[in-house]
Amino acid sequence: MDLQLLGKKVFVSGSTAGIGFAIALKFLQEGAEVIINGRTLASVNNAVQELQSLVRDASVSGIAADFSNVEDVNNVLKAVPEVDILVNNAGIFEPKPFTEIPDEDWFRLFEVNVMSGIRLSRHYFPKMLAKNWGRIIFISSESAVFIPDEMIHYGMTKTAQIAVSRGLAELTKGTGVTVNSILPGPTKSKGVGVFL
């Protein structure tokens, strides 16, 4: 299938493993230029090498950034000033009883899961509108609508992603830009049990 992505520049946050890695791989198979991201340079370099081994002549590079750190986000925006497609996939989770979730945990999950996508979208969205083409995709979760009782704070962040995505979609009327959310279910990933 030709998705007409040849030469499109794509940034996928949180893409050294799991869903993000699979998304990066598919974009590479479609001929896009892909920038992947992970929290450590080692994980990024390993993922880049693996993607290069899976896709001949892959145009893939990577940048390390921890999306709980605003300075790291700003470094990404400087290193990658413009993209055609943004996939907001970075996210963290943890099972914890509601009464035992301190304020710090609520803020930490919100910072990574929601603010990462907001900060990236706030930068790239106007540029997409200016050239009248772009795609922003938020990888939310079915947990956004079926809130897990052991991860209410996680579910809240996924619901927030849908709200941000829907609001941005309203701002694209009459343009060649689209903003969407995808809500996958439980996903088995190497090194992690089940997430998203």
Which positions are annotated as active-site residues?
154
Q: Reading across the β-sheet that carries 60-64, which strands appear in turn?
A: 60-64, 33-38, 9-12, 85-88, 134-139, 177-182
Nearest to 184 by CA among 86, 54, 87: 87
Nearest to 10 by CA among 25, 18, 19, 2: 25
Q: DSSP letters along 11-59, please? A: EESS-SSHHHHHHHHHHHHTT-EEEEEESSHHHHHHHHHHHHHHSTT--
Nearest to 128 by CA among 178, 182, 77: 178
DSSP 104: H
**Joined tokens for residue 13:** 């946050």
Q: Inter-axis angle of helices 41-54 and 18-29, to 10 degrees?
A: 40
* Neighbour count for residue 184 (Cβ, 10 Å): 13
